[in-house]
């Protein structure tokens, strides 16, 4: 069998999960030449297109799981939240994963050293148990959210709490590793969802305790108190936690060289532009889009706005479809000062551009890491998933962001007024509360973490060593 070891990695559905899983996989196999990884990919046309059009590291192998007839599958819960639907989709893949793992373990070319799952696929730890393979968790959000999940599991299982009762409450929680009490208003909607969401989150939180190690896309210097709490008190008895980030996928110049957005930025002074972008799913209602536009115009600031309208799946950069919903004459009046990109913006390239001085963000974890790595302060406007929690962290705990509203929920339908948005943009661009200096400090620390001898490199080496040790035990 030689010393060759294989990891089987199951990323959650959707490209976002695959991209970071592949990036972190590269780091792992580069750390030890005897390791290779097979990814089991949940069947999805966009993922197939992405993986077919790229070359990957020779020790990363991608296998598409067979297609399931989704139309005939019943929903297990009444929940309408997309993250709950996503988890259900994963649950249905279990027999396919079992079959694929059986195939890989039967080949004998390499010994399977572990099954790696991301946070949406924790249910697959059952398959790891069946094959007596150690399971590992790739946690693609922050240590803060991990600590919150552990805390809420304890509150539920050991103190009999029903978390869904904290919806709209003014309760605050002393979550280990947080300096400030965490308000119930920033708990993820799924955690508060009586229609099955909360139960699904709790079931994942329980499965976390079964894995042999958790590697997180963060760096210790970003969340130092959380790492202290894991290593010193560790009230939840969590498995070892390794911070290996930031793991990012900055596009190469050839991927964005024709971008209108970057061309626009090239014409703008240093740190003068506020960039607005709300993740892969961030869409606004027409009234909210109008308030946002009015806010931008009233500040007179230079801006680059990646705009997506609720209910539509736009792509390309044409503004034709949105002109009619923006305030009359908006595009004309803001010409040269502002740029609207409809659909996907090359976010990482934009954040790395010297003209960008602030980022109005939905606070998805990757967006936070990208912003921090570029030293760009944020204005936090969360929409869904665990973003309210992330927003609370970057505003209150890390100090790299001002708030638009840390407890905003996309599904609420509430329209934030132009004045409130404009005031937040001003605070951001003026660098209120030292956010600009703090962002610069974090940029340096994030670079240090992934440099030779940095904290994330040390964690990565330890993680890979532990994988080897656990596989021989």
Judged by CB, which is closer to ligand UDP: 113, or 190? 190
Task: Decide: 443 and 374 in contact? Cβ < 8 Å.
Answer: yes
Site for ligand UDP in 78-117 (CB under 6 A): none
Q: Residue 41 CB, nearest distance to ligand UDP (Å)?
A: 17
- Compute the least distance from the CB of residue 349 to ligand UDP, in Å: 8
Comparing CB distances to ligand UDP, the nearer of 38 and 347 is 347
Long-range contacts of 414-421 (CB under 8 A, 24+ apart): 415/285, 415/287, 415/288, 415/291, 416/288, 416/291, 416/381, 417/291, 418/291, 418/292, 418/294, 418/295, 418/298, 419/295, 419/298, 420/295, 421/291, 421/292, 421/295
Task: Give the integer Cα–Cα distance in Å for 126 and 238.
Answer: 18
204 binds ligand UDP (CB under 6 A): no
CB of 236 to ligand UDP, least distance (A): 24
CB–CB of 38/9 below 8 Å?
Answer: yes
> What is the C-alpha end-to-end distance of the chain, expressed in Å?
16
Asked if 388 and 406 touch (Cβ cutoff 8 Å), the reply is yes
Distances, alpha carbon 415 to alpha carbons 104, 184, 285, 287, 334, in Å: 51, 21, 8, 7, 23
Give the nearer residue to ligand UDP in terms of CB position, either 347 or 446.
347
Please give the residue whose beta carbon sits closest to ligand UDP in the complex. 364
Nearer to ligand UDP, 187 or 261 (CB): 261
Question: Which pair of tokens denotes residue 284?
Answer: 């606004």
113 or 406, CB closer to ligand UDP?
A: 406
Sheet holding 338-342, edge to edge: 338-342, 302-307, 273-277, 356-361, 378-380, 401-403
Cβ at position 281, least distance to ligand UDP in Å: 6
Among 177, 183, 364, 377, binds ligand UDP (CB under 6 A): 364
Stretch that binds ligand UDP, among 103-111, 208-216, 343-351, 437-445 (CB under 6 A): 343-351
**Binders of ligand UDP among 292-311, rule CB under 6 A?**
306
* By the rule CB under 6 A, 347 interacts with ligand UDP: yes
Between 272 and 291, how does the x/- string for binding to ligand UDP read (CB under 6 A)? -----x-xxx----------
* Distance of alpha carbon 398 from the chain centroid: 17
**Which of residues 50, 173, 250, 344 is near ligand UDP by CB under 6 A?**
344
Options 370, 386, 397, 403; binder of ligand UDP; rule CB under 6 A? 370
Asked if 314 touches ligand UDP (CB under 6 A), the answer is: no
Q: Which of 366, 371, 446, 456 binds ligand UDP (CB under 6 A)?
A: 366
Give the H/E segment covering residue 340: strand 338-342
Tokens found for residue 244: 């290996």
Rounded to a whole number of angstroms, the minimum distance from the CB of residue 311 to ligand UDP is 17
Q: In angstroms, rounded to a whole number, what is the distance separating the alpha carbons of residues 191 and 83?
A: 11
CA 1 to chain centre: 37
Of the residues 365, 392, 408, 463, which one makes contact with ligand UDP according to CB under 6 A: 365
Looking only at residues 10 through 39 of this chain, which bind ligand UDP when binding is defined by CB under 6 A? 16
77 vs 153: CA distance, rounded Å = 20
Residue in 156, 189, 204, 367 binding ligand UDP, rule: CB under 6 A: 367
Binding site for ligand UDP (CB under 6 A): 16, 277, 279-281, 306, 344-348, 364-367, 370
């Amino acid at each position: 069998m030689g010393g060759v070891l294989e990891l089987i990695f199951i990323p959650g559905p959707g490209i976002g999960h695959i991209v970071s899983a592949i990036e972190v996989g590269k780091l792992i196999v580069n750390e030890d030449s005897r390791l290779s990884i097979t990814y089991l990919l949940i069947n999805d046309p966009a993922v197939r297109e992405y993986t077919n059009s790229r070359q990957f590291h020779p020790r990363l192998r991608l296998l598409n799981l067979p297609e399931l007839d989704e139309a005939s599958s019943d929903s297990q819960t009444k929940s309408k939240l997309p993250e709950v639907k996503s988890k259900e989709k994963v649950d249905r893949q279990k027999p396919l994963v079992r079959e694929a793992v059986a195939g890989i373990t039967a080949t004998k070319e390499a010994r399977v050293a572990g099954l790696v799952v991301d946070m949406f696929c924790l249910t697959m730890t059952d398959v790891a148990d069946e094959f007596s393979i150690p399971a590992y968790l790739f946690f693609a959000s922050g240590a803060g959210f991990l600590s919150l999940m552990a805390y809420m599991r304890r509150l539920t299982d050991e103190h009999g709490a029903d978390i869904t009762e904290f919806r709209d409450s003014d309760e605050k929680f002393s979550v280990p590793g947080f300096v400030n009490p965490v308000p119930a208003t920033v708990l993820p909607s799924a955690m508060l969802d009586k229609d099955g969401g909360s139960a699904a989150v709790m079931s994942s939180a329980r499965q976390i305790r079964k894995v042999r190690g958790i590697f997180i896309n963060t760096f210790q210097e970003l969340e130092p108190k959380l790492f202290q709490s894991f290593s010193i008190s560790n009230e939840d008895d969590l498995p070892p936690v390794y911070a290996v980030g930031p793991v990012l996928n900055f596009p190469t110049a050839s991927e964005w060289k024709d971008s209108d957005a970057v061309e626009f930025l090239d014409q703008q002074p240093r740190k003068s532009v506020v960039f607005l972008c709300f993740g892969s799913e961030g869409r606004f209602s027409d009234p909210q889009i109008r308030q946002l536009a009015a806010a931008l115009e009233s500040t007179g600031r230079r801006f680059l706005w990646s705009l997506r309208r609720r209910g539509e799946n736009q792509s390309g950069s044409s503004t034709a479809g949105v002109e009619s919903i923006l305030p009359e004459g908006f595009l004309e009046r803001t010409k040269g000062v502002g740029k609207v990109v409809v659909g996907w913006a090359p976010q990482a390239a934009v954040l790395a551009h010297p003209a960008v001085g602030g980022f109005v963000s939905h606070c998805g974890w990757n967006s936070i890491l990208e912003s921090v790595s570029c030293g760009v302060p944020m204005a936090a406007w969360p929409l869904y998933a665990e973003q309210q929690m992330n927003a609370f962290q970057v505003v209150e705990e890390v100090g790299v962001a001002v708030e638009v509203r840390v407890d905003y929920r996309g599904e609420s339908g509430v329209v934030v007024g132009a004045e409130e948005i404009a005031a937040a943009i001003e605070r951001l661009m003026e660098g209120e509360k030292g956010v600009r200096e703090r962002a610069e400090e974090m940029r340096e620390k994030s670079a240090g973490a992934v440099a030779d001898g940095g904290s994330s490199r040390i964690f990565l080496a330890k993680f890979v060593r532990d994988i080897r040790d656990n596989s021989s035990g």
